[in-house]
Structure 1
């Protein structure tokens, strides 16, 4: 087996986390363009590179709010506020900087970054160990023998690294059961309800006993009356919520391993960071 180690970055997750962590920062270019979130994004990125020593890096992005999930359920993520006004101009600029560092930017309209991450990770996991850098626990469904999910915790360089064993130990589930849990409980941050009245504790108990939603439905008559009634009353939403929760790993995108080979040219990087007034970051990659 080869020694490739591929870091797949959830770009939007890092950028939003960086924005709120750096909200106090007045960083701006001479024309007034804010760069505080970009600065924090690059800190997080370089911290992870130093921590995991990847041979390859690729970055995935959302490409707008409308996706196949909003087609299925109009209220999907409708509770999300608009992006802060001073973050909006940083969306395109951060991608320009990522591209200048020779890191591919991957995204496709109609799909979320999660779907691109899932697709790329599964395609390249046969070529090396994959580490998905994110703050989104939905990604835990992607864990397998070759794919690790690195959840960013509070502070820099503070991670929970999920493999199959740690996922079972920490969450009590197998990867596919992450989807089943969401089908049962819904997801308030993504604004879909699951089965009304079923919380995580009950969902985990049901999945421990019956393994999957299909297994639960096959054993409805064995469930406590109140649980059975709740599931029967919300069957349609149960199935829809599971569909919304499932990451699509067949997005029509591609990225060859050669394209995402990690290796920053320090001379080029120096010019780049001088241009964007971020030279203090050079020490993280030199």
Structure 2
């Protein structure tokens, strides 16, 4: 008997919220409600969320959040994400508001101090993938390292309802390496948005070539005498940073969070959601509510 497995969508909450906020903030459209609270990010978040739900029709959903900028990675390397500006003043009150709206859908909000949303997503995906198909909704390519037979990644593209869906096979076709090798790829080339350097002077092209040839960092180091003099010098000069960058790049899949599938069933109470929309003064979003999902 071929039992149909449920599909859980794990949502990178900050990725949706920030994308929605900046898409409208650039024109100064903060959509303040009658209490003066800006709502543009939350409004766009809900639009992204409901559009993805109707497109992919998951049976289960959980939303994961970053819980402040201090994490085990900033303890390891104080430059980690140090180039990020402070959150804009109009976005700050929307951090709590967006979680209230997610609550109104009876969807779990998950986050853990000291870890990033990616670590919570990786952990839950690992816990539930034996019993379900996992789709991760984000705008962040770092999460592609989690791809496997049961985990796919849905990357938000420009606008609403445009997605690039990656599987482990599409990733291999594009990069010529396996998803887990992406951790070593980032260790070599660094990450400008997360602000760690990797090995100075080694870019994506060289790093991909080395990983295709030798498999992983250890393989490269074991065969370092086969590299060009320039490559060898660069790696030897930045060896500590190479190993540190690898630790920073790897998503932890064993953090102390859990989300049993029965807590993530996606069925919401329409009246409860509409009451929240009315309270926040959202207009027009009720049209996106899908009748199949009502409790």
TM (norm. structure 1) is 0.98
- Which of 113, 123, 126 aligns to 1:119? It is 123
Residue of structure 1 equivalent to 2:219: 215
Unpaired segments ≥5 residues, structure 1: none
Q: Confirm or deny: 8 A CA contact 1:2 1:127 kept in the other structure.
A: no
Does 2:219 align with 1:176?
no
Residue of structure 2 equivalent to 1:32: 36
The range that moved more, 12-21 or 22-31, is 22-31
* Shift of residue 21, structure 1, vs aligned partner: 1.1
The range that moved more, 168-177 or 224-233, is 168-177
* Shift of residue 278, structure 1, vs aligned partner: 1.6
Give the Cα–Cα distance (whole angstroms) in 1 for the partners of residues 30 and 209 of structure 2: 49
Residue of structure 1 equivalent to 2:23: 21
Q: What are the superposed Cα offsets for residues 105-146 of structure 1, whole Å, 9 maximum, x if unpaired?
A: 000000001100100111111121100000111100000000
Write out the 4+ residue segments of structure 1 that deviate beyond 2 Å after TM superposition.
Answer: none
Does 2:110 align with 1:106?
yes
Q: What are the superposed Cα offsets for residues 53-95 of structure 1, whole Å, 9 maximum, x if unpaired?
A: 0000100000011100011001000000000110000001110
TM (norm. structure 2) is 0.95
Residue of structure 2 equivalent to 1:230: 234
SS state at 2:135 partner: strand
Does 2:192 align with 1:188?
yes
Residue of structure 1 equivalent to 2:293: none
CA RMSD of aligned residues (A): 0.9
Give the Cα–Cα distance (whole angstroms) in 2 for the partners of residues 171 and 48 of structure 1: 26
Unpaired segments ≥5 residues, structure 2: 291-295
Residue of structure 2 equivalent to 1:201: 205
Does 2:268 align with 1:264?
yes
Give the Cα–Cα distance (whole angstroms) in 2 for the partners of residues 144 and 69 of structure 1: 25
Does 2:243 align with 1:239?
yes
- Which of 131, 138, 151 aligns to 2:135? It is 131
Aligned length: 286
